[in-house]
Amino acid sequence: MKKVGNHNSFSKKLIFSLAMVLSLSLSSLAQDAAAPAAGAGDPAKGKAIFNTNCAACHKLDAKATGPALRGVADKYDKEWLYKWIHNSGELIKSGDAQAVKVFEENNKIPMTAFPQLSNEDIDNIIAYTSAPKEEAPAATATAATGGAAAQEGGVSNNLILGVLAFVLAILVVMLLFVKNVLNKIAAANGVEVAAKEKSLPIWKAFAKNQFLMLVTSIMMILIGMYFIYGYLMQIGVDQNYEPIQPIHFSHKIHAGDNKIDCKYCHSSARVSKNSGIPSLNVCMNCHKSISEFQGDKDSTYVEYSKEFYTGEIQKLYDAVGWDKTNMAYTGKTKPVKWVRVHNLPDFVYFNHSQHVSVAGVECQKCHGPVETFEIMKQHSPLTMGWCVNCHRETNVKVEGNAYYAKIHDELSKKYGVDKLTAAQMGGLECGKCHY
Amino acid sequence: MASNKKYWKSVEELDQNSSIVETLRNNEFVEEIPTDEFLGDAATLSASSTTRRDFLKYVGFSTAAASLAACEGPVVKSIPYVVQPEEIIPGVADYYATTMMDGFDFANILIKTREGRPIKVENNNLPNAKFGANARVHASVLSLYDSMRLKQPKIAGKDASWTDVNAAVTKSLAEAKAKGGQVVLLTNTMASPSTDRLIADFIAKNPTAKHVVYDAVSSSTALDAFQMVYGERALADYDFSKADVIVSVGADFLGDWQGGAYDAGYSQGRVPKNGKMSKHIQIEANMSLAGANADKRIPLTVTEQKHALVKIYNVVTGASVGAANLGKQEDAVMKAAQQLKAAGGKGVLVSGLDDVNAQLLVLAINKALTSEAFNPSAARLIRKGDSKAVAQLVADMKAGAVHTLIMNGVNPLYTLANSADFAEGLKKVKTSVSFSLREDETAVKSTIAAPAPHYLESWGDVMIAKGHYAIMQPTIRPLFDTKQFQEALMAWTGNTASYYDFLKAVGSSIAVGTTWNKLVHDGVYSSEVAVVSGGSADYATAASTLANAKNAGGLELVLYTKTGMGDGQQANNPWLQEFPDPLTRASWDNYVTVSKKDAEKLGLQNYNVANGGLNGSYTTIEVAGVKLENVPVIIQPGQAVGTIGLALGYGRKEGLKEEMQVGVNAYKLYANQNANQVAKVIKTEGDHEFACVQLQKTLMGRGDIIKDTTLEIFNTKDAEEWNPIPMVSLDHKETPATEVDLWDSFDRTIGHHFNLSIDLNACTGCGACVIACHAENNVPVVGKSEVRRSRDMHWLRIDRYYSSEETFKGDEVLKGNTSGLMNSIDTLTGMEDPSENPQVAFQPVMCQHCNHAPCETVCPVAATSHGRQGQNHMAYNRCVGTRYCANNCPYKVRRFNWFLYSKNSEFDYHMNDDLGRMVLNPDVNVRSRGVMEKCSMCIQMTQATILKAKREGREIKDGEFQTACSAACTSGAMVFGDVNDKDGQVAKLAEDERMYHLLEHIGTKPNVFYHVKVRNN
- Give B674-741 as a DSSP string: -SEEEEEEEEEEEEEEPEES----B-TT-TTTS-EEEHHHHHHS-HHHHSPPPEEEETTEEEEGGG--
On the CB side of B736, how many CA atoms lie within 13 Å of its CA? 6
Strand, coil or helix: B550: coil
Q: How far apart are CA B380 and CA B395, in angstroms?
A: 30
Instruction: Tell whether B41 is covered by a domain.
Output: yes
Is the minimum CB–CB distance between B939 and chain A shorter than 8 Å? Answer: yes
Domain count across chain B: 4
Tell me the CA distances in angstroms from B330 to B298, B304, B308, one per residue in order: 10, 10, 8
The answer to whether residue B619 scores a pLDDT higher than 90 is: yes
**Lowest mean pLDDT: which of A294-308, A322-336, A343-357, B618-632?**
A294-308
Residues of chain B by 3-state class (helix, strand, coil), percent to 5: 35, 20, 45
Asked whether residue B670 falls in the same domain as residue B759, the answer is: no
Asked whether residue B747 falls in the same domain as residue B874, the answer is: yes
Q: Between A333, A335, A402, which is nearest B955 by CB?
A: A402
The b/e string for B23-38 (b: 16+ C-beta within 10 A; e otherwise) is ebeeeeeeeeeeeeee
Q: How far apart are CA B381 and CA B465, in angstroms?
A: 5
Residues with Cβ < 8 Å from B51, sequence gap 6 or more? none
Question: Quick one: which H or E segment has residue B951?
Answer: helix B939-952
Asked whether residue B676 falls in the same domain as residue B712, the answer is: no
Going by the DSSP 8-state scheme, the letter that residue B580 receives in this structure is P
Spell out the alpha helix ranges (H) of B27-122: 35-39, 42-47, 52-71
Interchain CB distance below 8 Å, A340 and B78: yes
Asked whether residue B713 falls in the same domain as residue B688, the answer is: no
Q: How far apart are CA B53 and CA B693, in angstroms?
A: 66
**Which pLDDT tens digit goes with each residue over B254-281?**
999 999 899 999 999 999 998 899 999 9
Q: Searching chain B, which residue's CA lies closest to the CA of residue A433?
A: B875
Residue/partner pairs of B152-161 with CB below 8 Å, 24 or more apart? B152/B451, B152/B480, B152/B481, B153/B448, B153/B449, B153/B450, B153/B451, B153/B481, B154/B439, B154/B448, B154/B449, B155/B447, B155/B448, B156/B447, B156/B448, B157/B444, B157/B449, B160/B448
Averaged pLDDT for residues B571-584: 95
The CA distance from B164 to the nearest CA of chain A, in Å, is: 29
Strand, coil or helix: A284: helix
Q: How far apart are CA A354 and CA A432, in angstroms?
A: 12
The CA distance from B66 to the nearest CA of chain A, in Å, is: 13
Instruction: Tell whether B298 is covered by a domain.
Output: yes
Interchain CB distance below 8 Å, B90 and A272: yes
Residues with Cβ < 8 Å from A180, sequence gap 6 or more? none
Instruction: Tell whether B195 is covered by a domain.
Output: no
Q: Searching chain A, which residue's CA lies closest to the CA of residue B957?
A: A403
The backbone torsions φ and ψ at residue B537, rounded to the nearest 5 degrees and listed phi first, read -140, 175
- pLDDT of res. A126: 85
Interchain CB distance below 8 Å, B873 and A434: yes
The CA distance from B657 to the nearest CA of chain A, in Å, is: 30
The CA distance from B699 to the nearest CA of chain A, in Å, is: 34
Nearest to B257 by CA among B243, B272, B236: B236
Going by the DSSP 8-state scheme, the letter that residue A228 receives in this structure is H
Of the three residues B667, B692, B717, the one that is the final residue of a domain is: B692
Instruction: Tell whether B915 is covered by a domain.
Output: yes
* Angle separating helix axes B499-510 and B193-205, nearest 10 degrees: 120
Q: How far apart are CA B429 and CA B414, in angstroms?
A: 18
Of the three residues B14, B34, B69, the one that is the final residue of a domain is: B69
Residues with Cβ < 8 Å from A335, sequence gap 6 or more? A280, A319, B79, B80, B81, B82
- pLDDT of res. B967: 95
The CA distance from A387 to the nearest CA of chain B, in Å, is: 16
Sheet holding B754-759, edge to edge: B974-978, B754-759, B1008-1011, B995-996
Asked whether residue B633 falls in the same domain as residue B778, the answer is: no
Cα-atom radius of gyration of chain A, to the nearest Å? 34
Is the minimum CB–CB distance between B72 and chain A shorter than 8 Å? Answer: yes
The answer to whether residue A164 scores a pLDDT higher than 50 is: yes
**Which pLDDT tens digit goes with each residue over B654-702?**
989 999 999 999 999 999 999 999 999 999 999 999 999 988 888 888 8
- pLDDT of res. A23: 47
Q: Which residues on A lie below 8 Å from B76 (Cβ)?
A: 339-340, 343
Interchain CB distance below 8 Å, A357 and B876: no
**Which pLDDT tens digit goes with each residue over B158-198?**
999 999 999 999 999 999 999 889 999 999 999 999 999 99
Interchain CB distance below 8 Å, A268 and B92: yes
The answer to whether residue B957 scores a pLDDT higher than 80 is: yes
The answer to whether residue B304 scores a pLDDT higher than 70 is: yes
Q: Searching chain B, which residue's CA lies closest to the CA of residue A270?
A: B951
Cα-atom radius of gyration of chain B, to the nearest Å? 33
Question: In this structure, are strands B1008-1011 and B872-874 parallel, antiparallel, or unpaired?
Answer: unpaired
Asked whether residue B634 falls in the same domain as residue B592, the answer is: yes
Interchain CB distance below 8 Å, A400 and B950: no
Q: Which residues on A lie below 8 Å from B954 (Cβ)?
A: 402-403
CA dihedral B374, B376, B381, B382 (to 10 degrees): 20
Q: Between A276, A281, A430, which is nearest B90 by CB?
A: A276
**Which pLDDT tens digit goes with each residue over B769-794?**
999 999 999 999 999 999 999 999 99
Question: Quick one: which H or E segment has residue B185?
Answer: strand B182-187
Averaged pLDDT for residues B555-562: 94
Question: Quick one: which H or E segment has residue B938?
Answer: none
The answer to whether residue B612 scores a pLDDT higher than 80 is: yes
The answer to whether residue A140 scores a pLDDT higher than 80 is: no
Asked whether residue B775 falls in the same domain as residue B814, the answer is: yes
Q: Between A338, A429, A432, which is nearest B78 by CB?
A: A338
Q: How far apart are CA B267 and CA B241, in angstroms?
A: 7
User: What is the residue type of B554?
Assistant: G
Instruction: Tell whether B182 is covered by a domain.
Output: no
Q: Which residues on B lie below 8 Å from A339 (Cβ)?
A: 75-78
Strand, coil or helix: B973: coil
**Which pLDDT tens digit goes with each residue over B119-132?**
999 999 999 898 99
Instruction: Tell whether B507 is covered by a domain.
Output: no
Q: Between A273, A281, A402, which is nearest B84 by CB?
A: A281
Number of CB pairs < 8 Å for A and B?
157
- pLDDT of res. A300: 57
Instruction: Tell whether B342 is covered by a domain.
Output: yes
B 942-1001: CB under 8 A from A = 943, 946-947, 949-951, 953-956
Asked whether residue B630 falls in the same domain as residue B736, the answer is: no
**Which pLDDT tens digit goes with each residue over A16-28?**
444 444 444 444 4
Q: How far apart are CA B934 and CA B126, in angstroms?
A: 32
The CA distance from A82 to the nearest CA of chain B, in Å, is: 40
Identify the CATH number of the domain in which residue B597 sits.
Answer: 2.40.40.20
The answer to whether residue B748 scores a pLDDT higher than 60 is: yes
Q: How confident is the model at residue A236 (pLDDT cuts 50, 70, 90)?
A: confident
Averaged pLDDT for residues B641-656: 93
Q: Give the mean pLDDT of chain A.
A: 81
Residue of B72, B81, B948 to mutate, interface with A, max A Cβ within 10 Å: B81
Instruction: Tell whether B447 is covered by a domain.
Output: no
Task: Judge if ipTM > 0.95.
Answer: no
Q: Between B76, B79, B84, which is nearest A336 by CB?
A: B79
Q: How far apart are CA B427 and CA B596, in angstroms?
A: 46
∠ CA(B580), CA(B583), CA(B587), 5° rounding? 25
Q: B723 near B843, Cβ under 8 Å?
A: no
- Domains of chain A with bracketed CATH: 39-130 (1.10.760.10), 236-382 (no CATH), 394-435 (no CATH)
Of the three residues B378, B407, B429, the one that is the final residue of a domain is: B378
- pLDDT of res. A99: 82
Q: Which residues on A lie below 8 Å from B955 (Cβ)?
A: 402-403, 405-406
- pLDDT of res. A5: 41
Asked whether residue B722 falls in the same domain as residue B661, the answer is: no
Q: How confident is the model at residue A49 (pLDDT cuts 50, 70, 90)?
A: confident
Q: How confident is the model at residue B969 (pLDDT cuts 50, 70, 90)?
A: very high
Label residue B120 exposed, middle or buried (CB < 10 Å: 0-12, 13-18, 19+): buried
Question: In this structure, are strands B626-635 and B592-594 parallel, antiparallel, or unpaired?
Answer: parallel
Interchain CB distance below 8 Å, B82 and A406: no
Highest mean pLDDT among A199-213, B310-324, B819-833: B310-324
Q: B795 near B828, Cβ under 8 Å?
A: no
Residue of B750, B795, B859, B928 to mutate, interface with A, max A Cβ within 10 Å: B750
The answer to whether residue A147 scores a pLDDT higher than 60 is: no
Q: Please indicate whether residue A29 or residue A373 has the higher confidence score (pLDDT).
A: A373
Measured in whole angstroms, how far is the alpha carbon of residue B825 from the centre of its chain?
A: 40
The answer to whether residue B201 scores a pLDDT higher than 80 is: yes
Measured in whole angstroms, how far is the alpha carbon of residue B509 from the centre of its chain?
A: 35
Interchain CB distance below 8 Å, B81 and A335: yes
Averaged pLDDT for residues A174-182: 93
The CA distance from B939 to the nearest CA of chain A, in Å, is: 7
DSSP letters spanning B383-396: ----HHHHHHHHHH
The answer to whether residue A9 scores a pLDDT higher than 60 is: no
Q: Which residues on B lie below 8 Å from A426 (Cβ)?
A: 751, 867-869
Strand, coil or helix: A292: coil
Q: B382 near B465, Cβ under 8 Å?
A: yes
- pLDDT of res. A151: 45
Q: Searching chain A, which residue's CA lies closest to the CA of residue B863?
A: A430
Percent of chain B past pLDDT 70, that is, above it, reads 97
Going by the DSSP 8-state scheme, the letter that residue B898 receives in this structure is -
Nearest to B162 by CA among B491, B408, B417: B491
Question: In this structure, are strands B754-759 and B974-978 parallel, antiparallel, or unpaired?
Answer: antiparallel
Q: Which residues constitute the domain of residue B663?
A: 556-692
Identify the CATH number of the domain in which residue B296 sits.
Answer: 3.40.228.10
Identify the CATH number of the domain in which residue B880 sits.
Answer: 3.30.70.20
∠ CA(A317), CA(A318), CA(A324), 5° rounding? 45
**Lowest mean pLDDT: which of A70-84, B348-362, B470-484?**
A70-84
Spell out the alpha helix ranges (H) of B370-482: 387-398, 412-415, 419-428, 441-445
Q: How far apart are CA B55 and CA B70, in angstroms?
A: 22
pTM for this prediction: 0.84
Q: How far apart are CA B824 and CA B812, in angstroms?
A: 13
Q: How confident is the model at residue B30 (pLDDT cuts 50, 70, 90)?
A: low
Asked whether residue B823 falls in the same domain as residue B945, the answer is: yes
Strand, coil or helix: B972: coil
Asked whether residue B667 falls in the same domain as residue B713, the answer is: no
Asked whether residue B2 falls in the same domain as residue B62, the answer is: yes
Is the minimum CB–CB distance between B868 and chain A shorter than 8 Å? Answer: yes
Interchain CB distance below 8 Å, B871 and A431: yes
Nearest to B910 by CA among B144, B142, B151: B142
